[in-house]
């Protein structure tokens, strides 16, 4: 029963109607007997800069943030975790003793799903990350944290990828970071040596990703698409035909969800529990 003391959590961004997060978190709250509710707020990207003020005004206990909000919310927060600092973006905000603290679970969620689903650890691997936004930078940082020897960031605006590489290289001297344009030629130059490819792009970049020639990848490489809501993400069919192993983003979502739930409630939940909650099989 919702009362005046029920804590409110939510997803703030656009679009959000496709999200599995409300169903996931509300069922987890019920099972853990947490007096809380999780709702989706559709927030125009034009209002992304006002999200921190909205969290304070509405006294929300915590939120998840997708897309452009992950970066534009930063100036309004009181503190950042190490994961958020490295990513330069926030996808979870939690109210802690009145202060808004930003976290980022994208990278760790990806790595946990990679190990669990594909049996592949980042240590000693070389990766191509498509997209240098918040998710791409979080994934790049997590790969380096877990021992990747090389991470190449491809972005439509190459300067953005270069800035991300410079920032990450200062923290992870053991990982070689490089940047390039998100083009067919930019991909082809690094694909033969790549063990992992992570597509962190969305929107208009889908068309560009579809032009990349995955035949340049070694058979047995892993291609991950972070866009779990897309029914037909670009290149998965082509990868499978070439012998490249494919991973959809649902596993990453579940591990992100487990990490978020822990930040919201200080309670532990595993990805298998979330898979049962969402009734997802075969991922």
Which residues have C-beta within 8 Å of that of residue 218, sequence separation ≥ 6? 192, 194, 195
Residues 216 and 140 in one domain: yes
User: What pLDDT score does 129 carry?
Assistant: 98
Residues 132 and 264 in one domain: no
pLDDT greater at residue 275 or residue 28: 28
- DSSP secondary structure string, 21-67? HHHHHHHHHHHHT--EEEEEEE--GGGGGGHHHHHHHTT-SEEE--T
E-state strands within the chain: 7-13, 36-42, 62-64, 79-80, 92-96, 99-103, 126-130, 150-155, 176-181, 196-199, 222-225, 245-247
Please say if the pLDDT value at position 281 is more than 60.
no
Residues 23 and 63 in one domain: yes
Please say if the pLDDT value at position 283 is more than 50.
no
User: What pLDDT score does 280 carry?
Assistant: 54
Residues 76 and 202 in one domain: no
How many other C-beta atoms lie within 10 A of the C-beta of residue 207? 9
Please say if the pLDDT value at position 237 is more than 90.
yes
Please say if the pLDDT value at position 174 is more than 90.
yes
**pTM recorded for the entire structure:** 0.93
User: What pLDDT score does 66 carry?
Assistant: 86
Instruction: Report the CATH number at residue 34.
Output: 3.40.50.10860
Residue 236 phi/psi, 5-degree rounding, is: -65, -40
Mean pLDDT of the residues in the chain: 93
Instruction: Report the CATH number at residue 121.
Output: 3.40.50.720
Grouping H, G, I as helix, E, B as strand and the rest as coil, residue 131 is coil
Tens-digit pLDDT profile for residues 60-81: 999 999 877 888 899 999 999 9
With respect to residue 283, please indicate whether it lies within any of the assigned structural domains. Answer: no
Domain extent for 31: 7-104+251-278
Residues 153 and 238 in one domain: yes
With respect to residue 91, please indicate whether it lies within any of the assigned structural domains. Answer: yes
With respect to residue 261, please indicate whether it lies within any of the assigned structural domains. Answer: yes
Residues 111 and 210 in one domain: yes
Please say if the pLDDT value at position 231 is more than 90.
no
Residues 112 and 242 in one domain: yes
With respect to residue 142, please indicate whether it lies within any of the assigned structural domains. Answer: yes
Q: What's the number of domains the chain is made of?
A: 2
User: Would you place residue 282 in the very low, low, confident or very high pLDDT band (cuts 50, 70, 90)?
Assistant: very low
Residues 232 and 169 in one domain: yes
Residues 131 and 187 in one domain: yes
Residues 140 and 12 in one domain: no
């Amino acid at each position: 029963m919702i009362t005046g003391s029920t804590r409110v959590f939510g997803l703030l961004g656009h679009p959000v109607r496709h999200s599995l997060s409300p169903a996931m978190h509300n069922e987890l709250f019920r099972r853990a007997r947490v007096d809380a509710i999780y709702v989706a707020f559709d927030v125009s990207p034009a209002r992304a800069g006002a999200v921190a003020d909205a969290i304070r005004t509405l006294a929300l206990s915590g939120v998840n943030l997708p897309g452009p909000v992950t970066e534009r919310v930063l100036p309004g927060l009181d503190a950042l975790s190490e994961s958020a600092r490295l990513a330069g973006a926030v996808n979870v905000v939690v109210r802690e003793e009145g202060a808004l603290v930003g976290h980022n679970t994208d990278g760790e969620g990806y790595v946990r799903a990679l190990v669990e689903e594909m049996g592949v650890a980042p240590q000693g691997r070389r990766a191509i990350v498509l997209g240098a936004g918040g998710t791409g930078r979080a994934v790049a940082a997590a790969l380096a944290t877990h021992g990747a020897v090389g991470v190449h960031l491809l972005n439509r605006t190459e300067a953005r990828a270069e800035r991300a590489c410079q920032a990450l290289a200062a923290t992870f001297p053991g990982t070689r970071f490089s940047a390039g344009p998100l083009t067919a030629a930019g991909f082809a130059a690094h694909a033969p040596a790549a063990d992992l490819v992570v597509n962190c792009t969305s929107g208009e970049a889908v068309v560009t990703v579809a032009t990349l020639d995955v035949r340049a990848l070694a058979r047995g490489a892993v291609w991950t698409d972070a866009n779990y809501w897309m029914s037909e993400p670009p290149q998965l069919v082509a990868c499978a035909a070439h012998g490249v192993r494919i991973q959809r983003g649902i596993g990453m979502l579940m591990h992100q969800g487990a990490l978020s739930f822990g930040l919201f409630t200080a309670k532990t939940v595993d990805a298998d529990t979330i898979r049962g909650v969402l009734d997802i099989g075969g991922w």
